[in-house]
Amino acid sequence: MQNDINSERNLRRSLLASLVGAAGLGLAGCGGGDPEEVSNVLETASADANEGLERQLATTNTPACNATGGVNTSGFDTKFNDYFKSVMGAANKNGTVYKELDSYYPGQYFSACIDPAAYGGNDGSGKTYTNTAKSEGQGYGMVLAVAANDRYKFDRLWNFTYYQMRRTDTNDAQRGFFDYLVTPYSKDAKGNAKRVGTGIAPDGEIWIATGLIMAWKRWNDTRYRNDAYSILDALKRQYNNLFSGNVPRSWYDSPLTNPSYVNPAFFSYWNAVRPNNGWDKIITANRKLLVDAANAGGGLAFDWTNFDGTQYYGFSLPTGHGADAVRVAMNAALDTVWTGTTNHKAPSRKAVDKLNGKQDVAEFASAMYATYALTGIGGCDSKVTPYTYRLLNNPLATGYYDGLLCTIACGILSGRIKKF
């Protein structure tokens, strides 16, 4: 499975270019900062950077701060609604990422978050596949559907995930988990979605289980609780093969971790709704890993690390801080908002200082500024950074990775993604 992940992550990372341009923007402070001034600096920096490269420029000028110096939650609530309608679709409609699959699976009520990018699979053929569904994206979509109170989309996403991605063989050590990559538009000999990337990528299970718990709490339906508990039981059953030092492995029985998979806020939520089931022991270790990983990279974690947060070298995996690792800031912000921890204050400050307001020039630019828009609520001295302003004012990102992460970031900043 590591070869498939390597293929995907290398592609992502090649598209996330090194950060360039506009040094010296620093922190756009709430209360003391002038949003119009920040806008001018950002737009000037964008205009000056690498002529000919396509960029997203702010087209509105909504302050990222509210009147009392906090995050403009009402502005981000509106932005969340706009993003959800674009990326996930209006009521009973497709979005740029969310797609209904009725014509391919009649009567099944399946939907998937589709990534059009080309990735290799491990079916043995060496073939490259496009228009895939990933366990990661299904989990993101499920959480967003609960946040938007869209049970219709949630159920369709969960139906596809459960029936087309779940591993069911009783002799399978990974039974109850989900194959991480399938092709919804291409079927196998039995008429099911072809599983082209088999095995667990634990971030998928973590987001899926959390989405089910949120759905149970929001809609008061114990079927979602039972499904969530089934995933948690599977994780517990294979704990030693999926965790090392209480930190999730990157894949089944792997010798490394991916810090963007580490989500102590979600583990705390699991423990709160199902106490005395062992999840309390992993919260501290995972929070420490997030902090250690960020500190190891001077505030910006590496994509693949050892279990102490230092960079992992092996399997020909990409090195450095890439498109995977930008999600560490998102997980730190969630941990701060959901649990009240202050552990992420210092590394969040380091991240803002190291980024220094720089702009990036890659396809996944939006994914980066979405997650670093959250750095302030992750523990910085101020609640708003230049990236927070960009997320609120820039045009909507519509791609799989950047669109979903921007929607999630707006959901966190608005308070829509919460512990129900």
Calpha distance 199→186 (Å, rounded)? 19
Higher pLDDT, 190 or 366: 190
Q: How would residue 16 be classed by pLDDT, with cut points 50, 70 and 90?
A: very low
41-85: pLDDT as tens digits: 323 233 233 222 233 456 678 888 888 778 999 999 999 999 999
How high is the pLDDT of residue 60? 76
* Torsion region of 408: left, alpha or beta (phi above 0 gives left; psi -120 to 50 gives alpha): alpha
How high is the pLDDT of residue 144? 98
Is residue 140 classed as helix, strand or coil in its secondary structure?
helix
Q: What is the mean pLDDT of residues 123-144?
A: 90
Q: At 122, which amino acid appears?
A: N
Nearest-5° Cα angle at 48, 362 to 63 = 80
pTM of the model: 0.89
Instruction: Please tell me what DSSP assigns to residue 415.
Output: T
* DSSP symbols for 309-374: SSBP--TT---SS-TTTTHHHHHHHHHHHHH---TTHHHHHHHHHHHTT-B--STTHHHHHHHHTT
Average pLDDT, rounded, for the chain: 86
61-70: pLDDT as tens digits: 888 888 877 8
* Torsion region of 88: left, alpha or beta (phi above 0 gives left; psi -120 to 50 gives alpha): alpha
Calpha distance 326→346 (Å, rounded)? 17
Exposure of 399 in the CB half-sphere (CA atoms within 13 A): 13
Domains of the chain: 2-414 (1.50.10.10)
Instruction: Please tell me what DSSP assigns to residue 260.
Output: G
Q: How would residue 364 be classed by pLDDT, with cut points 50, 70 and 90?
A: low
Identify the residue whose tokens are 């080309």: 118
Q: Which of 222, 221, 74 is nearest to 151 (CA)?
A: 221
Q: At 86, which amino acid appears?
A: S
Higher pLDDT, 11 or 245: 245
| Of the listed ranges 51-60, 157-166, 370-379, the one predicted with least confidence | 51-60
Q: What is the mean pLDDT of residues 252-263?
A: 97
CA distances from 116 to 130, 271, 310 (A): 5, 36, 32
384-394: pLDDT as tens digits: 888 899 999 99
Q: Which of 283, 323, 285, 287 is nearest to 302 (CA)?
A: 323
CB atoms within 10 A of CB 404: 28
CB atoms within 10 A of CB 261: 25
Identify the residue whose tokens are 């998937």: 112
Identify the residue whose tokens are 């809609």: 219
Calpha distance 100→244 (Å, rounded)? 38
List CB contacts of 106: < 8 A, sequence separation 6 or more.
Answer: none
Question: Are 211 and 219 contacting, i.e. CB atoms less than 8 angstroms apart?
Answer: no
- Does the pLDDT value for residue 300 go beyond 80? yes
How high is the pLDDT of residue 50? 29
Calpha distance 213→227 (Å, rounded)? 9
Q: What is the mean pLDDT of residues 206-224?
A: 98
How high is the pLDDT of residue 67? 80
Phi, psi of 347 (to 5 degrees): -65, -30
Question: Are 131 and 116 contacting, i.e. CB atoms less than 8 angstroms apart?
Answer: yes
Q: What is the mean pLDDT of residues 8-32?
A: 37
High-pLDDT (> 70) share of the chain, %: 83
Name the H helices within 113-201: 135-147, 151-164
Higher pLDDT, 288 or 124: 288
Question: Are 28 and 11 contacting, i.e. CB atoms less than 8 angstroms apart?
Answer: no
Question: Are 184 and 138 contacting, i.e. CB atoms less than 8 angstroms apart?
Answer: no
